[in-house]
Structure 1
Amino acid sequence: MKSLFIGSASGFSGKSLTAICLGKILQEKGLKVGFFKPFGTAPCMECDAVADEDAVNIKRILNLDDPVADISPLVLTHDLMMKVYKGELTGQKQAIASAYERICKGKDIVLIGGGRTISEGRALGVPSTELIKEYDWPCLVVDRFYNKVSIDILLAYKNILKDRMKGLILNRLEDHNRNYVEKLIVPFLAKQDIEVVGLIPNDTTLSAVSVSALCTALGGEQLSAQHAGDMLVHNFVVGAMNVEQAHRRFRKRQNKAVITGGDRVDLQVAALETSTNLLILTGGISPHPMITAKAEELGVPVIVVSEDTMSVVGKIEELVGRPRMREQEKVDRALQLFRDNVDLSKLGF
């Protein structure tokens, strides 16, 4: 059986995307794939039990049979961390070992999802670096390229992982950086014995947010187009200007959400006259029945939230900065980008 640890040097760098795409591609080759995430960092409720959100999502997308509790045996809830800080947590290393043994049964390959850094788990007495050495996991590092600091961190990872670091994927690469990275950074890293196996461009579909995710994150109520929960929103426009200015701005953006006060009927009408995917009405003010009826006719969801516009914008910015791979449209797009930009032969696949 083969294994591959997928790690990073920062959060939301593309580890889940990589695990999903690799898993799908290997399944297409007829291989029995498993997924294991020792430390669950995004607690959620699944079937009345605490689980890791990534584990739940990847189990669903890859159609895995293993229980979520085995896929991610240690979910870092507040209660668990309180036990850690008080010195009351025991058996964590055995819990990981037992779950990993069960995950490995009958598999051709197991993909291991790392945390934000390879130091994760140290507070629990089971750092990822120790697990990598104990189980001799080869490592694929996935990270975003920002600047020279990124290079220093990657070189530090190479120093820690040594020959276990089998490759690097630079994800969410901006167009203005691509030539610089290809001509200078990739050859430089190669001289340091770090092989770049993929350069995945930044993509608006992958950074888009679904209507249902927005509604949940904002604590809002969806009043129309209930069927459109999986619709992806690519752009956001704040409507706080006069109608003439609004028309000009709204026409420039496609597949957008318009955020405006619940009392601004004029801007709501203007938004529905252009390519708008979602209306987010702030201040807890319900829309005029005319707006709800028009939105329903056009299939545009209307979400009413209690907070003010600027607070809503702040929450959306945070959400967009933490893209999640839930919707099928995102999975399909990620697979296309992965196939086009990652050389799996360099990883032995």
Structure 2
Amino acid sequence: MNILLVVSENQGDGKTAISLTLAHQVANLGKKVTVIKPFGSKNELGDDSDLSVFASLVGSKPPEWPMELPESGLIDGRGKPYKALKDVKNELTKIAQRHDLVIVEISSKMPQEEQVGIAEFLEAKVLAVIRHKHALKTKKIKQHLVSFGQNLSGVLINARTKYTSHEVQTSFIPELEDLNIKVFGTIPEDRKLLSATVDQVVEHLNGEYFLKINERSSELIENFLVGGWTMDDGSLYFSTKDNKAVITRGDRPDLQMSALNTKTACLIMTKGINPIEYVEYEAQEEGVSIVVVDKDTLNTMESLDSLINVAKFDHKLKLERLHELIQSEVDSNSLLDAIGIAS
């Protein structure tokens, strides 16, 4: 039974993204793999987005999962498993018989001792995901990692910013290796992975579609440009970025037309002002959605600051991009060997 637990100390470190992309990589080798999230907190149970992503990208899940974490926990005071965990192991055993690898994502809300107990009871390998932050010290995460003992296969460092590359390579990784912890690689922060779809941006801004191009509503927006904040020619300015949304006042058809002459995913018109008929016609011809929001341009931009906090790993292009990054930045052969998959 080849089971890999994917764990992290904090929510949002990237467990789901890593789990799904690793499954994608293993499947490309002709292996049978599935991703499962058997337990969740009440809040996590109310949000089934992870489960729908699992289903769309790597196959369906057992319909009765995830189950809520029992108040009594999964492991008793003597380190013995309760019935809920025994039931999960029985089900995983059946699933593992049909797969070369079963990836199990463990909720970060689960107590550390329970995560360790689950790894031991399932005799599972463990891959830890660490979201790197500036000045992160190994002493802050040491206990989380070493507590898994021999079950820990190694770690992946995720979302390393451009300006911490030297710090990670010369300090953070060597400190982990001094603890005999294998570091498979470092995945840099990436704009596409932090992007949101047109629909998600509209929802985040509490906007309304004036014109919706349905076939582009799931297109990823990686850049936001504001009309009127440059002295350059509008078309020249707007052509500096692709995969973008352009934000401008609703009463600036000159800027809107300039944006429509470039590769634009949608126009966001502020102050609740609808576009003139000619702009609507051109947007329809170019296949560009028009969104109207009540806030002014400055407040709209401020609202977008928090968009990154709700970005999810829920798009095929994100899966493809993370796969590319893992191929280039991670020692994939060592990682696959460590989790029992011959590359």
TM-score category, normalised to shorter length: 0.7 to 0.9
Query: Does residue 162 in structure 1 map to residue 149 in structure 2?
Result: yes
SS in structure 2 of the partner of residue 98 of structure 1: helix
Distance of 1:345 and 1:321 partners within structure 2: 32
Kindly report which structure 2 residues correspond to 1:135-154, keeping only aligned pairs within 5 A, or say none: 135-154=122-141
Q: Which amino acid in structure 1 is aligned with residue 37 of structure 2? A: K
1:36 aligns with 2:36: yes
Structure 2 SS opposite 1:147: coil
What amino acid is the match of 1:160?
A: S
1:63 aligns with 2:53: no
Alpha-carbon distance in structure 1 between the residues aligned to 2:25 and 2:42: 25
Q: Post-superposition shift, 1:162?
A: 2.7
AA matched with 1:37: K
Report the Cα offset of residue 211 of structure 1: 1.2
Is the alpha carbon distance of 1:239 and 1:11 closer, same or farther for their aligned partners in structure 2, counting shifts above 3 Å? farther
Query: How far apart are 1:41 and its partner, in Å?
Result: 5.7
Aligned with 1:324 (options 308, 312, 317): 312
Cα deviation per residue 1:60-105 (whole Å; 9 max; x = unaligned)?
20023532x32x2228xxxx99xx9xxxxxxx96445434533441
1:321 is displaced (CA, Å) by 3.8
Whole-Å Cα distance in 1 between the matches of residues 329 and 9 of structure 2?
21
Q: Give the alignment's TM-score, normalised by structure 1.
A: 0.80
- The answer on 1:171 being equivalent to 2:158 is yes
- Pairs within 5 Å for 1:295-334: 295-334=283-322
Cα distance, 1:183 vs structure 2: 3.5
1:264 aligns with 2:252: yes
- Aligned equivalent of 2:49: 53
Match of 1:106, SS state, is helix
The residue correspondences of 1:186-265 to structure 2 (distance < 5 A) are: 186-222=173-209, 223-239=211-227, 241=229, 249-265=237-253
Quote the Cα distance in structure 2 between the aligned partners of 1:205 and 1:41: 29
Cα distance between partner residues in 2 of 1:149 and 1:180:
10
Secondary structure of 2:187's counterpart equals strand
1:168 deviation in Å? 1.0
Q: Distance in 2 between matches of 1:317 and 1:100?
A: 42
Distance 2:93 2:153 in 1: 21
1:183-206 residue CA offsets vs partner (Å, 9 max, x unmatched): 333222211111110211222222
Cα pair 2:20 2:35 within 8 Å, conserved: no
Q: Residue deviations 1:283-311, cap 9 Å, x none?
A: 33322222221112122221223344445
Q: Compute the displacement of 1:22 (Å).
A: 1.4
Q: 1:114 to 1:246 in 2, by over 3 A?
A: farther
Q: Is the 8 A contact 2:161 2:189 kept in 1?
A: yes
Alignment of 1:112-151 (within 5 A): 112-115=104-107, 117=108, 120-122=109-111, 127-151=114-138
CA distance in 1, matches of 2:48, 2:42: 5
Aligned twin of 2:94:
105
Distance in 1 between residues matched to 2:57 and 2:89, nearest whole Å: 20
How much has 1:241 moved relative to structure 2?
A: 4.0
CA RMSD after TM alignment? 3.2
In the aligned structure 2, how far is the partner of 1:202 from the partner of 1:216?
Answer: 24
Q: Residues of 2 paired with 1:152 and 1:126: CA distance?
A: 18
Instruction: Check the 8 A contact 1:35/1:103 in 2, yes or no.
Output: no
- The one-letter code sitting in structure 2 at the alignment partner of 1:327 is H
Identity score, percent: 25
Tell me how far apart the structure 2 counterparts of residues 322 and 267 of structure 1 sit (CA, whole Å). Answer: 29
CA distance in 1, matches of 2:320, 2:133: 26
Structure 1 portions without partners, runs of 5+: 85-91
SS at match of 1:105: helix
Give the residue type in structure 2 aligned to 1:33: V
**Partner deviation per Cα, 1:158-198 (whole Å, 9 max, x = no partner):** 23323322211112223333244223332222111111102
Amino acid at match of 1:12: G
Q: 1:244 to 1:199 in 2, by over 3 A?
A: closer
Work out the number of aligned pairs and report it. Answer: 325
Maintained 8 Å contact 2:6/2:106: yes
